[in-house]
A and B are shown apart, each in its own frame.
Chain A
Amino acid sequence: MTKTIAVVDYGMGNLHSVARAVSQVAPQNNTIITSTAADIAAADRVVFPGQGAARQCVQGVKDHHLQEVLIDAFNNKPFLGICMGLQILFDHSDENNGVDCLGLIAGGVNGFQRSALEPDKKVPHMGWNEVQQSGSHPLWQGIDDGARFYFVHSYFVAPTDASWTAATTDYLGSFTSAVARDNVFATQFHPEKSATDGLQLLKNFSEWKVN
């Protein structure tokens, strides 16, 4: 039976590249871009992307009345957050003078601070950086530990419970670049823009059998 992967559209940026990349690696699935709660509820897997600023993203979820269905997906089915779709899962973000987020993962979202000791490190953190895997996970299958993924962000997540951390990356200090628990995986980097390794991660997600 054809499985459906829902890419959640809540008005935050270009979802087509995420959907295109998922379709490319999982052609046997039905990949849809949707802003409808019923579609997300019916989907087998959910991809939660996001671009822009925290306040707009949280507002976008609320305006589209997607909070409940997203919480349900987060608790029950393979769920992949990307970039802002990682950050707004947390309790609170320091962006936009402070924003309450969805509160699904305990912890906050902090801004990078430039350092006089490392003047070459600009903000936003933009480009290909190394992702150090914190342990084995089905979504890392076929991807080298330390492989480079594409990042573009000025804020980073800090989970209260370190066991959430699935990967770290060094930039103006070490930060959590992916989180995972049960049926949830979420990345700060953009797998859809990260060439072969990014496509591999999306393929792993499309095939992920959650225990």
Chain B
Amino acid sequence: MGLAKRVIPCLDVDAGRVVKGVNFVDIVDAGDPVTAAKRYFDAGADELAFLDITASKDNRNTILDVVEKVASEVFIPLTVGGGIRQVADIRRLLNAGADKVSINTAAVHNPALVREASEHVGSQCIVVAIDAKSVAVPGTEAPRFEIFTHGGREATGIDAVEWSVKMAELGAGELLVTSMDRDGTKAGFNLPLTRAISDAVDVPVIASGGVGNLQHLCDGVLAGGADAVLAASIFHFGEYTIEEAKLMMRDAGIEVRL
């Protein structure tokens, strides 16, 4: 027995409200992030992730209110991502009660931010999001993955595995690996991508993107080599509970916290 693999529900937040739907059967206001977070905490989630997808600058500060309220009631680690450009943004989120921040596009445009941030607040607070797609031509070349930005629309020409190694060297304490070609498909994680990155770095890897059922979570750990699995819709719509996920993982021989 030892360290448990983590199950992390992820909530997309826009202007202080959960979007893409959370549909617990007996919650009146499913769009309230504090209510949803509390529910996941009570259900045994190991961590929570919030992704701030607010486009308008005016509404940016609403995520700070959300984090502050959640942190007062939820006593597990909170990771918050979205809209982080500089160390000051990170400090504000940590002061509001986040335990870790996830840096995405800003790391691609300004990798030095990862080093600066980890030196200021410690690597344990810095998660770097790796948004990648398979770009190899099937049947003609070995698996190859590339970093994409802007929600998977813009290719960067950066090799995802090399980039992951670089991010860990610069001070990322953890990597959130999202397969952009699987996100929203419910077809399961991109396991070769997860495995390639997990094998290449010393730091823990969170698998994300594409979970449609509980077997996918098990696959992420067993075949993908992930230290944690992140999912959104399968939990939000009540298809599966956190406990069902963990029981399935346990039965597959994975150590979990029950």
Contact = CB atoms under 8 A, between A and B. Distances in A.
A144 to B, nearest CB: 12
Nearest to A112: B202
A129 B3 contact: yes
A79 interface: no
A2 interface: no
B75 A198 contact: yes
Interface string B31-75: 000000000010000100000000000000000000000011001
A150 interface: yes
Instruction: From A127, A130, A153, name the one whose CB has the most chain B CB atoms within 10 angstroms.
Output: A127
B204 to A, nearest CB: 5
A102 B71 CA distance: 31
Interface stretch (B106-114, B121-129, B146-154, B159-167): B121-129
B225 interface: yes
Interface residues on chain B, size class: 35 or more
Contacts of B227: 120, 122, 126-127
B41 A195 contact: yes
A114 B202 CA distance: 8
Contacts of B199: 119
A88 B97 CA distance: 24
A59 B54 CA distance: 38
B125 A150 contact: no
Contacts of B4: 127-129, 148
Q: Kindly state the interface size class of chain A when it binds its partner.
A: 35 or more
B95 interface: yes
Contacts of A150: 76-77
A125 B2 CA distance: 11
A137 B183 CA distance: 48
B97 A16 contact: yes
A127 B95 contact: no
B203 A121 contact: no
Nearest to A152: B124
B75 A195 contact: yes
Interface in A115-138: 119-130
Given A125-B3, A126-B227, A129-B3, A51 B121 contact: yes
Contacts of A52: 121-122, 124
Given A17-B99, A171-B3, A153 B202 contact: no
B28 interface: no
Contacts of B71: 16-17, 20
B228 interface: yes
Interface string B93-123: 0111111000000000000000000000111
Nearest to B124: A152
Given A128-B4, A150-B77, A14 B95 contact: yes
B14 interface: no
Q: Which 6 A-B pairs have the closest CB atoms?
A: A52-B122, A128-B257, A152-B124, A128-B4, A122-B204, A129-B3
Interface of A: 13-14, 16-17, 20-21, 24, 51-53, 114, 119-130, 146, 148, 150-154, 170-171, 192-195, 198-199
Interface of B: 1-6, 41, 46, 71-72, 75-77, 94-99, 121-125, 173-174, 199, 201-205, 225, 227-228, 257
